Amino acid sequence: MINARNFYINGQWMPPLASRDLDVLNPATEQKVEQISLAGPEDVNRAVLAAKDAFKSWSQTSKQDRLDLLKAILTQYRARSQDLAEAMTLEMGAPKGFALTSQAACGEHHIEAFIRVLESFKFEEPVTANDSGDTLFLEPIGVCGLITPWNWPMNQITLKVIPALAAGCTMVLKPSEESPLSALVFAEIMHDAGVPAGVFNLVNGDGAGAGAALTSHPDVHMVSFTGSTRAGTHITQSAASTIKRVALELGGKGANIIFSDAAETAVSEGVALCMENTGQSCNAPTRMLVERSRYAAAVAEAAEAAQRIKAGMPSDPQSDIGPVINQRQFDAIQAKIKAAIAEGARLVAGGPGRPDDLKQGYFIKPTVFADCTADMSIMQQEVFGPVLAMMPFDTEEEAIALANSTPYGLTNYIQTTDKDRARRVAHGLRSGTVEINYQFCDYGTPFGGVGYSGNGREGGAEGLREFLEVKAVAGL
């Protein structure tokens, strides 16, 4: 990529002021595929100042101007979807088909959804709590620092960049240094779509360097971050000194509650969903809670389903999942698998080490543990790999209590044919999202969590409102 070692600042590709290089590795081969530069505080400051200057004019544009730009971005995005998919296959090791039809496609759908939201969105609305005639102005918050993860690059970039643009904000995007290549293609898309200079800026960098400089910068008015709970804590602390808004979408430890009357395929579908994207999804259903009368059969079904999932090279059309992102993640997942065994969880599929037919790459065996207890680390800690933990329950109340027994609260799942029970359980679950019988929330539905899973919402009108300030006006 011609601009891999440059940053996109003020409508131009610019070299770093003080270069620090980082090799980008393909996790399937462990080989270098590109080299990027890591931004320092001076580079971040240059990008923030460009966004600050551009805010003066961009914040005053009309809704129609912003709609026209979003539609131009969508056109360019569709034209470059294959390039985006190829970049994500290189940087993530994602199977080629999955990279195109899921990883790249989700960004397109988010752009489409935000266009629909913006078309009907009102930036002025009356105060309805009284008859004073007061008016609320919804105005762009300002310069936004957007920090995105490596596991769903285009999903998270479009969920932040597009609503920020729609709101009238300007921004500095810092994608994960583990998956920077697709973000560079996205910056080219923004340029070719005609985004005005300074409205969108991109710097590559790590959390300790570029991330810290961005979150603490006095001219950044909002930080939107997706990543680990640990990093979210640091970002919140960094942002506190300048009293900026912080929106966080963090980790998860989703429960999949399977009642005895659930569909015959509920267990196998739950295993597949847990291990999709190599288990690298914060909303993955990684805890399977099964009503006791069905539990023994469910364990056998889950083991069989996991054994059918093929971890393999991205170029192999038979591969269901690829590697995890890097050596650090591989080692951490291996340690958690071994800890689960040591704590007494019963291993029924997979286990430590790579799949037998793979001698290189950060591949994890699709793994299932049965007979877990709620206090085991495998039931409490986010693994972020293709690892499922199972345990039985006896009553509806126990299932809810078990689901709520972790500090996370992102997405939980319910499998039952009893709609009244599904509604009761959904009310009892402490999470930002509940999906019933694998009916997944559509694009444009807000997504986010509670507790250690973060705050704020992404997607839909609620996701647009995150980037707006409310101004009360009397006397109009």
CA dihedral 398, 399, 404, 405 (to 10 degrees): 60
Catalytic residue set = 249, 282
Place of tokens 């006896």: 394
- Provide the angle, in degrees to the nearest 10, between the axes of the packed helices 81-92 and 181-192: 160
Most distant CA atoms of the chain, gap in Å: 73
Sheet strands side by side (includes 245-249) = 12-14, 7-9, 200-202, 170-174, 143-147, 222-226, 245-249, 454-455
Q: Which of 19, 8, 37, 33 is nearest to 186 (CA)?
A: 8
Is 200:8 a contact under the CB 8 Å cutoff?
A: yes
Q: Which of 316, 300, 425, 271 is nearest to 370 (CA)?
A: 300
**Could you tell me the two tokens for 53?**
């200057």
400-403 long-range contacts (CB < 8 A, ≥24 apart) are 400/425, 400/428, 400/429, 402/255, 402/287, 402/289, 402/374, 403/255, 403/257, 403/287, 403/289, 403/429
Burial class (CB in 10 A: 0-12, 13-18, 19+), 470: exposed
- Residues listed for the chain: 476
